[in-house]
């Protein structure tokens, strides 16, 4: 089965380890096991002794119950049995699309977004209609255009909320309108919600799984909870057909997730409020720094993100995004992601949720570079 190369992953694979200033990272500053235990007020020695006694079996085939209960607590209408655990959100997205999309199906997907959300259904020979978001519309969908794109053949509408790479956020009103569009043709809505909860304002960030009985939410422990090393994600949906189909297909590529990983994730979600408080402070403090920097840089502009950990920086000089990013990483140790990884140009993606000191150092280095333009 042929599939388009995953541009952003290929870029990170080649260049991330060269970074002196990693402003390409998309997770909130990662936490260690020791920091996790401190946040959870767990006795480290006792917990490690307990973990060392565990036999390393497959563990819970359908997911550690504590972990699944923690996932369900992130939603209003989801029960633990309506959750499937996966190998990261990347595994969750793949499992949904692998299970639900056939060659004769039609899919409507937003762009820019995480590439697998449109490249995987394209690889299955489905018809993918792309809805391109624009900075002029604050990287939010044009609902009139979405209505024109759907048809009686549309099996699924695919969105990404909050958006990667733009940092835009669809509110409940817009999500309900997308639900109405999907309902009009009987389509599912798959929402990659990997950054859900990391809002700049104190506002609710509803899940599609709570708003629509054919809504499918995908997320992970990586971005919002700073635990990418656990490689855990999930599918949450109230739709029994999706649970059944994804469960059948899951047997072919997962069996179970790591038992120690799920144990640690269960601890994290049992203390999710503490981690979210930490991480919202990081993204909000760091965005203030980024915003002040953008305002003073004459060559740079952006649509200020509403949520998540990333955004697109537009520049006003004549150079491809890939050439610019190669120059920055190879000659200055500064990592960004080229806009062309998301099929956009004249922009680069920055991850601003790293350690504050690293963000400041990276922006200062970029300022030195821009001064030479």
> Are both 115 and 137 inside the same structural domain?
yes
User: Do residues 170 and 22 both lie within one domain?
Assistant: no
**Which residue in 145, 155, 53, 138 sits closest to 99, CA to CA?**
155
CATH number at residue 227: 3.40.640.10
CATH number at residue 345: 3.90.1150.10
Q: Say yes or no: 13 and 63 in one domain.
A: no
Predicted confidence pLDDT, tens digits, the chain (373 residues): 899 999 999 999 999 999 999 999 999 999 999 999 999 999 999 999 999 999 999 999 999 999 999 999 999 999 999 999 999 999 999 999 999 999 999 999 999 999 999 999 999 999 999 999 999 999 999 999 999 999 999 999 999 999 999 999 999 999 999 999 999 999 999 999 999 999 999 988 999 999 999 999 999 999 999 999 999 999 999 999 999 999 999 999 999 999 999 999 999 999 999 999 999 999 999 999 999 999 999 999 999 999 999 999 999 999 999 999 999 999 999 999 999 999 999 999 999 999 999 999 999 999 999 999 9
Domain end (from 226, 247, 271): 271
Using CA atoms in the order 173, 178, 181, 182, what is the torsion angle rounded to 10 degrees? -130
Domain co-membership, 309 together with 203? no
Domain that holds residue 157: 55-271
Residues 149, 65 within the same domain: yes
Domain count across the chain: 2
> Per residue in 255-265, pLDDT tens?
999 999 999 99
Three-state secondary-structure class, residue 8: helix
Specify whether the CB–CB gap between 204 and 169 falls below 8 A. no
Task: Note whether 305 and 257 are same-domain residues.
Answer: no
Whether 242 and 258 share a structural domain: yes
Residue 72 domain-assigned (yes or no): yes
Residue 49 host element (H or E): helix 44-52
| Cβ–Cβ < 8 Å for 189, 156 | yes
Are residues 128 and 108 located together in one domain of the fold?
yes
Domain boundary among 227, 256, 271: 271
Return all residues near 47 (Cβ < 8 A) that are at least 6 apart: 37
Any idea what DSSP says for residue 314? E
pLDDT in tens, 123-166: 999 999 999 999 999 999 999 999 999 999 999 999 999 999 99
> 320 and 256 in one domain?
no
CA distances from 256 to 9, 114, 225, 228, 253 (A): 24, 25, 21, 18, 9
Q: Distance between CA atoms of 101 and 114, rounded to whole angstroms? A: 18
């Amino acid at each position: 089965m042929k599939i388009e190369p995953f541009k952003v992953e290929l870029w990170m694979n080649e260049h991330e380890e060269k970074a002196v200033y990693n402003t390409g990272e998309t997770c909130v500053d990662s936490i260690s096991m020791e920091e996790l235990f401190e946040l959870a007020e767990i006795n480290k020695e006792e917990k490690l002794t307990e973990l060392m006694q565990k036999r390393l079996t497959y563990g819970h085939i359908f997911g550690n119950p504590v972990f699944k209960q923690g996932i369900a607590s992130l939603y209003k209408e989801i029960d633990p049995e309506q959750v499937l655990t996966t190998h990261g959100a990347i595994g969750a997205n793949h499992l949904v699309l692998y299970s639900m999309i056939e060659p004769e199906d039609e899919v409507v997907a937003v762009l820019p977004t995480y590439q697998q959300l449109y490249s995987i259904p394209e690889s299955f020979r489905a018809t993918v209609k792309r809805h391109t978001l624009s900075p002029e519309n604050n990287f939010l969908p044009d609902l009139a255009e979405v209505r024109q794109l759907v048809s009686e053949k549309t099996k699924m509408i695919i969105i990404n909320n909050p958006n990667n790479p733009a940092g835009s956020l669809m509110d409940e009103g817009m999500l309900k309108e997308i639900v109405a569009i999907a309902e009009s043709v009987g389509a599912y809505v798959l929402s990659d919600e990997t950054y859900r909860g990391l809002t700049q304002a104190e506002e609710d960030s509803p899940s599609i799984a709570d708003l629509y009985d054919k809504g499918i939410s995908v997320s992970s422990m990586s971005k919002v909870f700073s635990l990418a090393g656990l490689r855990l994600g999930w599918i949450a949906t109230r739709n029994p057909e999706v649970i059944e189909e994804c469960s059948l297909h899951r047997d072919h590529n997962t069996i179970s997730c790591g038992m120690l990983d799920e144990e640690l994730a269960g601890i994290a979600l049992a203390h999710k409020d503490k981690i979210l408080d930490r991480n919202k402070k990081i993204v909000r403090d760091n965005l203030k720094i980024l915003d002040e920097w953008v305002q003073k840089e004459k060559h740079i502009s952006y649509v200020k993100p509403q949520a998540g950990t990333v955004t697109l920086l537009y520049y006003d000089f004549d150079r491809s995004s890939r050439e610019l990013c190669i120059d920055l990483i190879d000659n200055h140790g500064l990592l960004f992601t080229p806009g062309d990884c998301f099929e956009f140009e004249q922009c680069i993606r920055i991850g601003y949720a790293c350690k504050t000191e690293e963000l400041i150092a990276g922006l200062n280095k970029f300022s030195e570079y821009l001064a030479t333009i």
